[in-house]
Amino acid sequence: MSAEIIDGKKIAEDIRSVLAKEINSLDGDGRPGLAVVLIGSDPASEVYVRMKKKACADIGVESYEYSYGADYGEDALLDLISDLNEDPKVNGILVQLPLPAGYDEKKVIEAIAPEKDVDGFHPQNVGRIVIGDTDCFLPCTPYGCQILIKRVVGDLKGKHVVIVGRSNLVGKPLANMLIQKSDMANCIVTVCHSAAADIGLYTRQADILVAAAGSPGLITADMVKPGAVVIDVGTTRIENPDKPGTKRLAGDVDFESVSQVASAITPVPGGVGPMTITMLLSNTVKAYKMHNGIA
């Protein structure tokens, strides 16, 4: 068996095309606006911010960038967020994580108005996800995973999803999203993590396996049920043996072996990654519609 390659880039492009048309037809004041705040000089964060800025421009979202050094200070950041919360042209606020040492990420996230929390990290939005309230923002990476799974599998009712990883960014929210009683979910969900003596005991039961542990090559072919759909969220930079002195992105799944067992699999890069920014754009458009009373 050779698995279908789930082309996250193509699916993301299709969704962005729909969003661009929707933005052109909106009746509210101005255009959807996204404020992106970058503190410090983390190279990966700087790349992500540039990608988000370009994605906004491509579909017609106004992007407002606020970039400061690591010494900007937590109080100043909280004041900035307070101003952005009150700014009518800003529909969504994203503070790029991780923050430099000395900043309280929890305090910063909670300072963002829930109705502008397009990253979906505010406790109020997280709580709404748990109770199945759709009037909230879903975290972008889990949201992207859910869209990919739905596109490939179709009817998710009763499918057994095993998620490897319990982070607040992916594992926990995705589990809560996929157990809801809806056409986008209704799954049986197992979450396993480093405390499991044998992770393979759980992963081999999965109809849909999501690897989100941040451990390159963790999932091997012997850990996957034949015919399973495999979603690889891992994006760890490791040494590139083909080009000494450089690094490459590696997923949590041993792609070469698992692709011979699975029915469908996401590559790294080109799988979940493009979907994350796309769902950020989708959340920003949703925020704009909410703020302008557009159904």
Task: Show which residues are catalytic.
Answer: 52, 96, 119
State the Cα–Cα distance between residues 53 and 22, nearest whole angstrom. Answer: 19
State the Cα–Cα distance between residues 107 and 131, nearest whole angstrom. Answer: 23
One-letter identity of residue 242: D
State the Cα–Cα distance between residues 115 and 137, nearest whole angstrom. Answer: 8
Measured distance between the N- and C-terminal CA atoms of the chain, rounded to whole angstroms: 45
Answer whether 161's CB lies under 8 Å from 178's CB.
yes
Answer whether 83's CB lies under 8 Å from 116's CB.
no
State the Cα–Cα distance between residues 293 and 207, nearest whole angstrom. Answer: 40
* H-helix or E-strand spanning residue 64: strand 62-68
State the Cα–Cα distance between residues 91 and 96, nearest whole angstrom. Answer: 16
Helix axes of 43-59 and 8-24: crossing angle, nearest 10 degrees:
50
State the Cα–Cα distance between residues 154 and 110, nearest whole angstrom. Answer: 35
Answer whether 175's CB lies under 8 Å from 206's CB.
no
Count CB atoms within 10 A of the CB of residue 193.
Answer: 15
DSSP secondary structure, 84-102, as one string: HHH-TT--EEEE-SSPPTT
The residue among 87, 83, 81, 85 whose CA lies nearest residue 104 is 81
